[in-house]
Structure 1
Amino acid sequence: MTTTYQIPATTHLGEVSLRISNLERSIQFYTEVVGLKLLERSEKIATLTADGKQSLLRLEKLTDAVTMPVRSTSGLYHFAILLPDRKSLGLALRNLAESGIEIGQGDHLVSEAFYISDPDQNGIEIYADRARDTWKRDADNNYIMSSDPIDVDSLFALAANEPWQGLPAGTVIGHVHFHVRSLEESRRFYTGVLGFDIVGNFANMSALFVSAGGYHHHIRLNIWAGAGAPVNPDNATGIDYFTIIYDGKEQLEQAVEQLRQSNTSIEQQGKDWFTVDPQNIRIRLTTTS
């Protein structure tokens, strides 16, 4: 009897790598507006951090980069930066507001989130979760979510007069959200091959949510760019890869073996492995140790 592979409950996301057109401009944006700190940089690559140790974001400058029109290709809709608490979200919001950038928002019941775009139109969500014991599921076992207005006044009150010092230690990459060519094709890959669990199957929104360990979502997939949307060109700004972090070498080896058995292309680079999803988004597989 064949046992269906399920991704370990402790699995979570790590560094996101973006292709951008102007490294100086992007560093300034991600440090001053978003609140990350510069960790390392070279002529074409920079990494940014919240805790001064672990890279959360990698920026790679493309020569003669192009930026595709919004919702014209499959690929990144947004990557999401998860803050450790609501007070941190209030401080981040105050800084965003003072920057004058356009901000979207939504109270999703499981979380409160704000949405911005970087200078290359890469989408960013900055959010904080509500306590997990308040998350609710419907009769089909989907998490109940919404897009209600956020109580912004209470967030500003939490931030009070505390000085802005950037995003705090404890900030992580919470999830990624992609435009895809086909929900069914992506469902087969992310659940059938990588082993994520479906936690939100919302046909009315043309969207699918998957996660590990009962999280409200680590990956969200939509067809809002249109069914069969073309892949984002390699010379275009957008996502290069995102990272799945496994708890130890044995769990990583099991994931790699699952990819091999499904005849999915996979390549080793040092201690990490790389594969690609149906949208040609690279996925880095690594471990906590």
Structure 2
Amino acid sequence: MGFHSKPTTFVGHVKIKVENLERSLTFYREVLGLDILEQTSSAARLTTDGKTSILSLEQPENVIAKQGRATGLYHFAILLPERSDLADIVVHLIDKGIRFGASDHLVSEALYLDDPDGNGIEIYSDRDPSTWKWEGNNVAMTTIRLDIENLLTCAKSGKAWKGMPEGTVMGHIHLHVADLDQAEEFYIKGLGLDVVSRFAGQALFMSDEKYHHHVAVNVWSGVGAPRPAENSVGLESFTLVYADEEARQAAINQLQQIGASVLKEENEWITQDPSGNRVVLAI
């Protein structure tokens, strides 16, 4: 489908801050089935295929608990290759006694849970894109009850869960922002994404190449919500992957034209949206 590979622009990696690295590693390994690719005393890069990292954890100095009613991470979303993989994780979470929510979004089926620090996580599988309903450039999405019983008919009964399967990717990211109009200018005119859905003046869904969304933003923490403290639990950054240097440079130029700051730090190009959410521009 190509929604998470070049030449599509997509979210390739998310980096979050946690209070206790070892506690978080236990959760992400035993509950979510990710493996450690690299680790230091204060950070770890996690993987599903042993080669690339889709998620990093960082324990900042003097870290403080996640702040409510602030901008930042709403959830990051891990996309599984098959519906059967989602069914298997449901069985696994039930076996582990982990509480989770579940929703049907028409374009996808999704589970929701928090890590030990309250960082939001979605785990989902997409329905066949040929079944997605489009009206012009707007895709039909909603939130209704997920038919868990039907989903479980896909589970690989009798087989022990072996963790996140190869082919798992970072599907999208959903952020709290302070102002939807400012966010739209940044992500559309700056980063070059397209609006694919609007929700009642509260949320905006954006993507490249007609995916249902690679990035979503909302004002559910309140219009004008403040930025969290630099050392608080939550989002450190997410990586947006462009097809090539030409595409990345076009985005950099567009960001500068709308007055957004773009800085080069240790061979990485980094910007931030008007609410302080950091974006690494990669190729």
Would the TM-score normalized by the shorter structure come out above 0.5?
Answer: yes
Q: Which residue of 2 aligns with 1:85?
A: 82
Q: Which residue of 2 aligns with 1:58?
A: 56
- Secondary structure of the 1:102 match is coil
Unaligned residue ranges in structure 1 (runs of 5+): 1-7
Q: Is the 8 A contact 1:65 1:235 kept in 2?
A: yes
Q: Which residue of 2 aligns with 1:5?
A: none
Q: Residues 68 and 21 of structure 1: is their aligned pair in 2 closer, same or farther, counting only changes over 3 Å?
A: closer
Identity %: 44
- Aligned mates of 2:50, 2:122 — CA distance in 1: 21
- Aligned mates of 2:36, 2:259 — CA distance in 1: 38
Deviation at 1:64, TM superposition (A): 2.8
Return the TM-score normalized by structure 1: 0.92
Unaligned residue ranges in structure 2 (runs of 5+): 1-5
Q: Residues 44 and 89 of structure 1: is their aligned pair in 2 closer, same or farther, counting only changes over 3 Å?
A: same
Q: Which residue of 2 aligns with 1:4?
A: none
Deviation at 1:85, TM superposition (A): 0.9
Return the TM-score normalized by structure 2: 0.93
- Aligned mates of 1:10, 1:23 — CA distance in 2: 33
- Aligned mates of 1:56, 1:277 — CA distance in 2: 21
Q: Which residue of 1 aligns with 2:65?
A: 67
Q: Which residue of 2 aligns with 1:49?
A: 47
Within 5 A, what are the aligned runs for 1:206-217?
206-217=202-213
- Aligned mates of 2:259, 2:177 — CA distance in 1: 21
Q: Is the 8 A contact 1:86 1:128 kept in 2?
A: yes
Query: Which portions of structure 1, spanning 4 or more consecutive aligned residues, are displaced by more than 6 angstroms?
Result: none
The amino acid across from 1:18 in the alignment is I
1:199-254 CA distances to partner (integer Å, 9 max, x unpaired)?
001226x1111111100011111111111001111111000000101112222222
Q: Are residues 1:168 and 2:168 paired?
A: no
Q: Which residue of 1 aligns with 2:110?
A: 113
Q: Are residues 1:272 and 2:268 paired?
A: yes
Q: Is the 8 A contact 2:132 2:140 kept in 1?
A: yes
1:136-155 CA distances to partner (integer Å, 9 max, x unpaired)?
024x6421112122221233
RMSD: 1.5
1:230 to 226, 230, 249: 226
- Secondary structure of the 1:56 match is strand
Q: Are residues 1:203 and 2:196 paired?
A: no
- Aligned mates of 1:269, 1:59 — CA distance in 2: 19
The amino acid across from 1:23 in the alignment is L
Q: Residues 74 and 128 of structure 1: is their aligned pair in 2 closer, same or farther, counting only changes over 3 Å?
A: same
Aligned length: 277
